[in-house]
């Protein structure tokens, strides 16, 4: 759990023309009226621009309003204006808190480290520094796992696309190698038959036809005579009764 440092002791800057604005700004801040407090601190800074603690309290107010970039800049101005290492460590500490809220743990750890360099005995800075380092390691591990998963997903997608390409190529080759269908084969066969010379019927003369008829009649007569002869031989054999 992060630990915060908010307003510094304000009694030291309540002098000069900024007294009224500073007091009103303190009251507004304590009551949660951060917009009013920021406006009043800025007016007080216009009257006393070198007052370091006005810049610190403005930074704390801007942080409450979520204006983090402006808050970081106000803390930097505070560090430049104060000569106290301990007070400078306060700014670095709170800047580390801002970055931690934004999950920028690596940058936050650097600010906590700066706070410890300026004030080595600050237990809160040490606590938050160790916490930021732990979260930084967790964040980096999660990022590595995410990158690894993305790389694996991309590799799987590339393999699927390559396999799909191979399947499409094989399909195209199979289509090219397929024989023509039956209809195409039949058409080709008919076309080839039409191209081949067809046998022409031979014309027969009347004499050739008569000769063929005569030969058939002679053949029939010979067959009849042979049948009668076989019949006679069969009857002769059958008459003997043993």
Q: What is the DSSP string of 199-237?
A: PPPPP--HHHHHHHHHHHHHHHHHHHHHHHHHHHHHHHH
The terminus-to-terminus CA distance of the chain in angstroms comes to 140
pLDDT at 232: 46
pLDDT at 183: 58
**pLDDT(15) > 50:** no
Q: What is the mean pLDDT of the chain?
A: 79
Query: Is residue 93 situated within a structural domain?
Result: yes
Same domain, yes or no: 112 and 78: no
This prediction has a pTM of 0.58
Average pLDDT over residues 74-83: 96
**pLDDT(9) > 60:** no
Compute the Cα dihedral for 190, 193, 195, 199 and give only its sign.
Answer: negative
Please identify, among 62, 82, 102, the residue that sits at the C-terminal boundary of a domain.
Answer: 82
Domain span including residue 63: 10-82
Number of domains, the chain: 2
| Residue 2: closest CA among 120, 69, 73, 98 | 98
**pLDDT(236) > 50:** no
CA 74 – CA 2 distance, rounded (Å): 21
**pLDDT(133) > 80:** yes
pLDDT at 242: 29
Average pLDDT over residues 171-179: 67
Same domain, yes or no: 104 and 123: yes
Half-sphere exposure of 207 (CA within 13 A, CB side): 0
Average pLDDT over residues 69-82: 96
Query: Is residue 91 situated within a structural domain?
Result: yes
| C-alpha distances in Å from residue 155, one per residue of 28, 166, 220 | 58, 16, 93
Average pLDDT over residues 24-43: 94
pLDDT at 70: 97
How many Å separate Cα 52 from the centre of its chain? 51
Percentage of the chain lying above the pLDDT 90 cut = 48
């Amino acid at each position: 759990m992060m630990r915060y440092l908010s307003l510094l002791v304000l009694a030291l800057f309540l002098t000069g023309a900024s007294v009224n604005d500073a007091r009103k700004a303190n009251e507004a801040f304590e009551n949660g009226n951060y917009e009013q407090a920021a406006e009043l601190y800025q007016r007080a800074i216009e009257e006393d621009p070198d007052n370091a603690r006005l810049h610190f309290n403005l930074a704390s107010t801007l942080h409450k309003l979520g204006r983090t970039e402006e808050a970081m800049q106000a803390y930097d101005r505070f560090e430049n204006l104060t000569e106290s290492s301990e007070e400078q460590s306060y700014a670095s500490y709170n800047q580390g808190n801002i970055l931690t809220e934004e999950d920028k743990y690596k940058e936050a750890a650097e600010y906590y480290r700066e706070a410890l360099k300026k004030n080595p005995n600050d237990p809160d800075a040490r606590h938050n520094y160790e916490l930021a380092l732990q979260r930084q390691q967790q964040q980096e591990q999660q990022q590595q796992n995410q990158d690894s998963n993305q790389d694996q997903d991309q590799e799987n997608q590339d393999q699927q696309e390559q396999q799909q390409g191979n399947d499409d190529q094989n399909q195209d080759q199979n289509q090219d190698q397929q024989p023509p269908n039956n209809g195409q084969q039949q058409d080709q066969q008919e076309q080839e038959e039409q191209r081949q010379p067809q046998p022409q019927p031979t014309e027969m003369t009347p004499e050739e036809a008569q000769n063929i008829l005569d030969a058939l009649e002679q053949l029939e007569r010979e067959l009849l005579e042979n049948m009668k002869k076989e019949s006679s031989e069969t009857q002769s054999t059958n008459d003997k009764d043993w």
